[in-house]
Structures are given as structure tokens and as C-alpha cells.
Amino acid sequence: MEVTESTYGKTRIFDVEKIRNDFPILSREVNGKPLVYLDNAATTQKPYSVIETISHYYKFNNANIHRGLHFLSEVATEEYEKARLKVKEFINALSASEIIFVRGTTEGINLVAESLSRKNHFEEGDEVIISHMEHHSNIIPWQLLRDEKGIVLKVIPINDKGELILEEFEKLITPKTKFVSVVHVSNTLGTVNPVKEIVDIAHKYDIPVLLDGAQATAHLKIDVQDLGCDFYAFSGHKMFGPTGIGVLYGKAELLEEMPPYQGGGEMIREVSFEKTTYNDIPHKFEAGTPNIVGGIGLGAAIDYLRSFNFTEIHRYEQELLKYGTKLLSDIEGLKIIGKAENKNAVISFVIDGVHPYDIGTIIDTDGIAIRTGHHCTQPLIERFGLTATARASFAMYNKKEEIDKLAESLIRTIKMFK
């Protein structure tokens, strides 16, 4: 089935109250107060349509896919492959064979590192460039390769506002640079990186680029052909979909040359004890029974996101960011970490004399969920001379009134510590 714009019907008017009604969890109470959920960079909440798609699948269509001839197996296979087509359309990939279902961003990056290593893409002394604002999931896979293959990891520096220093990137490139892997949007600072420029620079030297899109897909319209990247990894649970499912996009010509990541059922064409031939992409990279319902649930999340105009989502979230930045900046003793010009709706902050863990614990008693800690970006947090921050991260269902509550609760916290 070809997924077209008309599959999604009319674009919905952006109305935050109506959007909130789509998310059952948003009407619950926490500690006797209405939930204020501001931890969307960690994971987003799920709309009815996703929850019901998952429940419907298990109630009516559950079967294993690709290998059964019976009715249910065919229905389940069709639903799963339809979801792949939806992903393809969502990020504007050239073909559905470029969409590999994985567990999440983490697995997507590990797949690329591991498969390229197996292909002997890297020799001892070869270089991989990442940035100072990477999530651990875009650091450790390359460190594992460093230990295994002796590659060298190079890091693009950032300025005090939390922006990549692009001029320094090109200076890091040498004839030994074999791969570039950078985050599209920082989960800790909200910085939106100039990834198109990064891809263009790397491609001048024929270096492939992976983009970590974990924090981008629920907030920005993604067009992998326009970005020109070779790989793009993201997680379903950060874009209103289920946990345990994500996507690795890769250009077909690269994926075809790459050896499998894991071995098992589904990824083969023929097996004998002497020799095995592998399936076509993307199945070559999907060993074993996949997360079928996860894929279908992600398809429902994409339908949900596509029922809105992305420009509207972005405009609204920018409004929240501006409002929150002003309100929080006015609180005495509060300092915002990460002031990039191009930023998504994430506000990391510290407060004089109050540990981020105490902030998180106290405002939780007001029903407010934020994240505290290093956010799996320890080198980045250290770059700012810190060990932790508190982080409020917004999604399209958040409201200015919730930011007011956050500010009030922070002021109450500060008073307690005085």
C-alpha cells in the first residue's frame, strides 16, 4: 500500500486543549495534584490512537509475520510493512527498504558501528568524529570500536552557549577520518545542530554521516533526502509511540554493502552448515521475531503526528520555550544552561544552593515531572563545570499554565532552602 497525504485526511487545527484530550495520562493526578509532565525528552506520553492500535493488534491480529501463510499472519505482516511505509513517508526516505526497525536510537547507532566494523571499514588509527554534546549512546559504541579496532575518537567542541563550533569541525577532518556521527538536537541543551552543513562538509571528503535524531522527530519535520545524511536513527517512544521500537534509516547503497548486525531467523535467504546467504535489505538487519506491535504502534504515532502541520507544532513549542525561558530566567539564583540561537523546547537549569536532585524531588510533590542528573551526557555536563542539571522538556501538549506551576514550585523550593 502506498501511503499518501490523503491517507491522513485533513490536517487538524492546532488546539492544545483538544490535543491534551487525546492523551489519557494527562488527566491523572500525581501526589494529589494534576500531573504536569515536563519530561518529554526522556519519553513522551501516548495518545489514545496509539494505545488502541496496540490493544487492537493483540485482540484481533496477533500472529508472527513474514513466514506464515495463514490469514492472521498475512494481516500482521501487512500491518507491520504498512508501518514501514509510513516511516518512509514520514522522513522522506527514497525507499521502504531503507527503513530498518530497531529497538531505538541506541540500537540503531550500535548497528551501524558494529556492521561497519565487521565490514573492515575501520583500520587501526582511523578516526570517527562525534561532538561534545552527544548522548552516551553516540559515544560508547565508538569507544567500543576504539577498544576493539584502535580507532581514534575526535570531538567537535562547543561554545558557552552550547552550540557546535562548526569551523573546528572541518579542521578535525584528516585523510584518516572514516565516519562522522552527531546529534541532531541535544537532549540536554535543546540545541538544534546545523546538521545539513555538517553533512555537506563531511561529504566533500567522502565521509559518511550518521545523525542521532532521538530528540528531533517529534518536533521538527525530517527529510533525510534534504539533509543528505547517510544514516538517521530515532526512537518511537520519544515521538508518542511505544517503547522498544525505533528506526535506523540508511541509504540503500550503503546498507546493501554492510554485513548483518545479528544473525538468526528472518535475515537469511538460505542456510546450510557450509554457507548462508542473506536476505535483502531491510530484512538482512532484522534478525529474529521483531517488535511487531511496536512497529505498528509507531505507525499509529506517525499518523497522529502527521495529522498536524509540523510548522504549527514547531511554532507552538517555540512559544513555550520563549515563555519558559523568560519566566525561569526571572527567578533569582536560577541559571539556564544552553542558550543556543537555534533551540528546541528544552530548558536545563541549575539553582544556587539547591542540588538538582532536591529540585526534582520537591517539585514532584507538586505533581511536576522533570528530569535531573547528567541526562546521559556526562562529558557535556562536565564541559559546563557541573555534575547535574534539572531539565524541563516540552511537547506539543504542554501549556503555559504548566510552566507557571513549574516556576511557582521552583520558587517554593528555593524558599525552603533559604
Residue 20 or 221 having the CB closest to ligand PLP: 221
Residue 2 to residues 11, 83, 85, 201, 301, Cα–Cα distance (Å): 19, 11, 7, 34, 18
Q: Could you give the CA distance from residue 328 to residue 324 in angstroms, rounded to a whole number?
A: 6
Residue 114 in the binding site for ligand PLP (CB under 6 A): no
The DSSP line for 99-149 is EEEESSHHHHHHHHHHHHHHTT---TT-EEEEETT--GGGTHHHHHHHHHH
In 336-373, which positions are buried (b, 16+ CB within 10 angstroms) versus exposed (e)? bbbbbeebbbbbbbbbeebebebbbebbbebbbbbbbb
Residue 215 in the binding site for ligand PLP (CB under 6 A): yes
Residue with cell 562548526: 166
- Rounded to a whole number of angstroms, the minimum distance from the CB of residue 411 to ligand PLP is 29
Residue from 112, 116, 183, 351 binding ligand PLP (CB under 6 A)? 183
Q: Could you give the CA distance from residue 134 to residue 136 in angstroms, rounded to a whole number?
A: 6
- Rounded to a whole number of angstroms, the minimum distance from the CB of residue 147 to ligand PLP is 21
Residue 140 to residues 114, 115, 130, 154, 173, Cα–Cα distance (Å): 12, 15, 11, 13, 21
Q: Could you give the CA distance from residue 113 to residue 105 in angstroms, rounded to a whole number?
A: 12
Residue from 61, 131, 235, 372 binding ligand PLP (CB under 6 A)? 235
Site residues (CB under 6 A) for ligand PLP, limited to 18-47: 41
Q: Could you give the CA distance from residue 155 to residue 175 in angstroms, rounded to a whole number?
A: 16
Residue 393 in the binding site for ligand PLP (CB under 6 A): no
- Catalytic residue among 224, 376, 392, 396, which? 376
Residues in the chain: 418
Residue 389 in the binding site for ligand PLP (CB under 6 A): no
Residue 145 or 414 having the CB closest to ligand PLP: 145
Residue 8 or 285 having the CB closest to ligand PLP: 285
**Whether the Cβ atoms of residue 285 and residue 100 lie closer than 8 Å to each other:** yes
What is the H or E stretch that residue 62 is in?
none
Site pattern 93..112 for ligand PLP (x: CB under 6 A):
-----------xxx------
Residue 61 or 398 having the CB closest to ligand PLP: 398
**Whether the Cβ atoms of residue 300 and residue 49 lie closer than 8 Å to each other:** yes
- Rounded to a whole number of angstroms, the minimum distance from the CB of residue 195 to ligand PLP is 12
Which residues are CB-neighbours of 149 under 8 A, at least 6 positions away? 117, 122, 123, 124, 126
Burial of 59: CB neighbours in 10 Å, binned 0-12, 13-18, 19+? exposed
Residue 53 in the binding site for ligand PLP (CB under 6 A): no
Residue 137 or 325 having the CB closest to ligand PLP: 137
Please count the residues of this chain forming the interface with ligand PLP, following the rule CB under 6 A.
13
Residue 137 in the binding site for ligand PLP (CB under 6 A): yes
Residue 177 in the binding site for ligand PLP (CB under 6 A): no
What is the H or E stretch that residue 21 is in?
helix 16-21
Span near ligand PLP by CB under 6 A; candidates 171-179, 209-217, 267-275, 326-334: 209-217
Residue 133 in the binding site for ligand PLP (CB under 6 A): no
Residue 230 in the binding site for ligand PLP (CB under 6 A): no
Residue 151 or 380 having the CB closest to ligand PLP: 380
Residue 53 or 106 having the CB closest to ligand PLP: 106
Residue 76 or 113 having the CB closest to ligand PLP: 113
Residue from 39, 163, 212, 317 binding ligand PLP (CB under 6 A)? 212
- Rounded to a whole number of angstroms, the minimum distance from the CB of residue 379 to ligand PLP is 13
- Rounded to a whole number of angstroms, the minimum distance from the CB of residue 180 to ligand PLP is 16
Residue 187 in the binding site for ligand PLP (CB under 6 A): yes
- Rounded to a whole number of angstroms, the minimum distance from the CB of residue 233 to ligand PLP is 8
Active site residue 229: no
- Rounded to a whole number of angstroms, the minimum distance from the CB of residue 29 to ligand PLP is 26
Q: Could you give the CA distance from residue 154 to residue 137 in angstroms, rounded to a whole number?
A: 16
What is the H or E stretch that residue 401 is in?
helix 400-417
- Rounded to a whole number of angstroms, the minimum distance from the CB of residue 133 to ligand PLP is 9
Q: Could you give the CA distance from residue 151 to residue 171 in angstroms, rounded to a whole number?
A: 18
* Residue 156: φ, ψ to 5°: -70, 125
Task: Give the binding site for ligand PLP (CB under 6 A).
Answer: 41, 104-106, 135, 137, 183, 187, 212, 214-215, 235, 376
Catalytic residues: 376
